[in-house]
Amino acid sequence: MTSRISPSLLVGFAARLIAWQRGHGRHGLPWQVADPYAVWVSEIMLQQTQVETVIPYYARFLARFPDLASLAAAPEDDVLALWSGLGYYARARNLHAAARQVMAGHGGVFPSDFEAICALPGIGRSTAAAIAAFAFGERRAILDGNVKRVFCRLFGVDGWPGERAVEQRLWRLAGALLPEDGIRAYTQGLMDLGATLCRRGRPDCRRCPFADDCVANRDGRQAELPAARPRKGLPEKATIMLVLWHGGEILLEKRPATGIWGGLWSLPECPADADPGEAARRLGYAAEPLTALPGLTHTFSHFRLHIRPHALAVPVRPAAVAEAGRLWLSPAEARAAALPTPVRRIIEAL
């Protein structure tokens, strides 16, 4: 960390941030309520997803599952269907599993103890701290992506924040800056500052309450702080997806609970160099090729997947075919299922 940090920035940081948040921060977000359940759901949805994207999903989710008991009692398919399109589906599975864990282990009451919150599936240190601060007023430090960017710029922290040594330095800084009072406004202020002013691209330094003391603004280093992740080329993968038709319905398969698109309904797949007709026969269906469908590419955080859909007609569904974990649905019914985004695009294009 640079030694040229303004002393006034360190001493008065929390008070200045709280004052700015109360006057200029976000106050109309739907999860800004005194309900631990609503706060928890929002914090899980907001992991790696922007507020504007989350709001409509959050509204639909709370309308369908207004409390912890209704979420815990729901089938996983219903939870995943409402999550469909939001991505990072492990969040939905963990949310569902955590709801059941709270019902079983905490009498259906969301725990207020920080360690108990951390022990729930899908909740790490920063998410638990945000829930504890917003829901229970507990004095805890957060360190999500926005906060890392704010701290790196304000205090001139070099290095990629994902590197262990850099992240530990940021955690120490986050803990040292905590206010004695006003933790909700302070925590929300950190999030607001990163989301509305100290953005990754085109930061609005003129409106920032810390512009005069910020190391990045003073030294013209906004573009280089925080340091980017060391670049690695994304691996390229390819697959064929089988669009099997019978009687106006499409075959969907349940994916394994773990791994990519875990627990979602998807189209059957086969290797990119396989014969689609032969792949269908291996599934137990004699199929005839139909019109070619346009390919598409879906990018994950760690690889890029090239998908070639192949439409095939299944004249007869043999009674002997074991169809556990499979569904035949009309395109309209399929669109309402818990589908990965590229599968939904394929079906909508039909």
Domain harbouring 108, CATH code:
1.10.340.30
pLDDT digits (tens, 9 = 90+) for 74-122: 999 999 999 999 999 999 999 999 999 999 999 999 999 999 999 999 9
My answer on whether 160 and 278 are in the same domain is no
- Band (233; pLDDT cuts 50, 70, 90): confident
- Please, what is the end-to-end C-alpha distance for the chain in angstroms? 55
Alpha-carbon distance of 42 to 32, in angstroms, equals 9
> Is 52 a member of any domain?
yes
pLDDT top residue among 320 and 253: 253
My answer on whether 207 and 258 are in the same domain is no
**31: nearest Cα among 18, 40, 22:** 40
My answer on whether 252 and 208 are in the same domain is no
> Is 226 a member of any domain?
no
Catalytic site residue from 43, 224, 253, 278? 43
My answer on whether 244 and 323 are in the same domain is yes
Q: For the domain that residue 328 is a member of, what is the CATH number?
A: 3.90.79.10
Contact 269, 239 (CB under 8 A): yes
Structure confidence at residue 3 (pLDDT): 43
> Is 231 a member of any domain?
no
Q: Is the pLDDT of residue 44 over 60?
A: yes
Number of compact structural domains in the chain: 2
State which residues form the domain around 178.
7-219
| Percentage of the chain lying above the pLDDT 90 cut | 87
> Is 229 a member of any domain?
no
My answer on whether 86 and 210 are in the same domain is yes
Q: Three-state SS for 269? A: strand
Structure confidence at residue 4 (pLDDT): 62
My answer on whether 287 and 215 are in the same domain is no
* Domain end residue (candidates: 219, 254, 283): 219
pLDDT digits (tens, 9 = 90+) for 274-309: 999 999 999 999 999 998 789 999 999 889 999 999
My answer on whether 214 and 240 are in the same domain is no
Alpha-carbon distance of 145 to 273, in angstroms, equals 40
My answer on whether 188 and 246 are in the same domain is no
| Percentage of the chain lying above the pLDDT 70 cut | 97
pLDDT top residue among 231 and 193: 193
My answer on whether 251 and 326 are in the same domain is yes
Residue-averaged pLDDT of the chain:
94
Angle in degrees, 0-180, between the axes of helices 183-192 and 7-24, rounded to the nearest 10: 90
> Is 49 a member of any domain?
yes
My answer on whether 198 and 283 are in the same domain is no
Residue 348 annotated as catalytic = no
> Is 259 a member of any domain?
yes
